């Protein structure tokens, strides 16, 4: 194995750089809390696992050093693109939590996300952590590595990325639309419950003006939202798994489609 790697080091570097770029943007693996040496090691072993098949299938490499650098840059771009497309799906859960954080009374509360290194609404971070748990329990990392590493090398090369750039933009735009649709679908049970609470509080304030609705509304909205969230959590986890599986499947379809763009 080592002799084969040494004899074909230029091809192995092409495979390694795609795998490493994928680890840098893939969900969970791209977190800053994951040591960089772990990402390099996982990328190396992933590249070593798929390298014999790539070598047997044949990957044409240019003789010119400039062209070779362009091929490596294209492989890095492929890895970044595939990882980014799946990372987009976790924005669905953050957006869903952001939709009803304001109605709950948590609009001003934000927490620091150690994975994304940004501040997120409290409920968005809660749903995001639940989605990461579902992603791990449903073997999402293994499925994504299969699509991003093994399956992508079967049909996708750097030149296909340039030829199929229109298809990538179409997938990105369709994914953004589906992201908001899925986020609204997830947040509808809590949004509807909070709407009923707001209507009830308004009718109560009209019937009994002496009642301090502001002091009653905040704890009631928070309590109802958490009650509905915990009651719907088993169904939400199933929806999370379906959304993640659909995202992985869409990436697989994109890889197959890009592989057919050029002969």
3-state secondary structure the chain: CHHHHHHCHHHHHHHHHHHHHHHHHCCCCCCCCCCHHHHHHHHHHHHHHHHHHHHHHCCCCCCCHHHHHHHHHHHHHHHHHHHHHHHCHHHHHHHHHHHHHHHHCCCCCEEEECCCCEEEEHHHHHHHHHHHHHHHHCCHHHHHHHHHHHHHHHHCCHHHHHHCHHHHHHHHHHHHHHHHHHHHHHHHHHHHHHHHHHHHHHHHHHHCCCCCHHHHHHHHHHHHHHHHHHHHHHHHHHHHHHHHHHHHHHHHHHHHHHHCCCC
For 105-157, the pLDDT digits (tens) are: 776 555 555 555 556 667 777 888 888 888 888 777 777 777 777 777 777 77
Q: Record the pTM.
A: 0.75
Of the listed ranges 4-18, 80-94, 204-218, 232-246, the least confidently predicted one is 204-218
pLDDT tens digits, one per residue of 231-262: 888 888 888 888 888 888 887 777 776 655 44
């Amino acid at each position: 194995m080592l002799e084969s790697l040494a004899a074909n080091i230029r091809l192995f570097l092409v495979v390694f750089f795609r795998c490493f770029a994928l680890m840098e943007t893939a969900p969970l693996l791209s977190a800053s809390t994951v040591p960089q040496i772990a990402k390099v090691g996982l990328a190396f072993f992933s590249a070593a696992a798929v390298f014999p098949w790539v070598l047997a299938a044949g990957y044409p490499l240019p003789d010119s050093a400039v062209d070779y650098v362009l091929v490596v840059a294209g492989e890095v771009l492929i890895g970044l693109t595939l990882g980014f497309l799946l990372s987009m799906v976790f924005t669905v859960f953050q957006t869903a939590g952001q939709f009803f954080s304001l109605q709950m009374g948590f609009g001003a509360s934000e927490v620091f996300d150690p994975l994304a290194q940004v501040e997120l609404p409290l409920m968005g971070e809660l749903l995001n952590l639940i989605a990461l748990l579902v992603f791990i329990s449903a073997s999402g990392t293994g499925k994504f590595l299969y699509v991003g590493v093994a399956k992508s090398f079967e049909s996708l090369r750097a030149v296909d990325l340039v030829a199929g750039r229109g298809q990538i933009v179409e997938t990105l735009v369709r994914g953004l639309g589906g992201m908001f649709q899925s986020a609204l679908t997830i947040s509808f049970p809590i949004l509807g419950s909070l709407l009923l609470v707001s209507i009830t509080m308004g009718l109560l304030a009209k019937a009994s003006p002496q009642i301090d609705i502001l002091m009653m509304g905040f704890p009631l909205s928070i309590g109802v939202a958490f009650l509905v969230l915990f009651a719907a959590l088993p169904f939400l986890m199933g929806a999370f798994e379906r959304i993640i599986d659909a995202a992985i499947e869409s990436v697989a379809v994109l890889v197959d489609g890009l592989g057919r763009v050029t002969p």
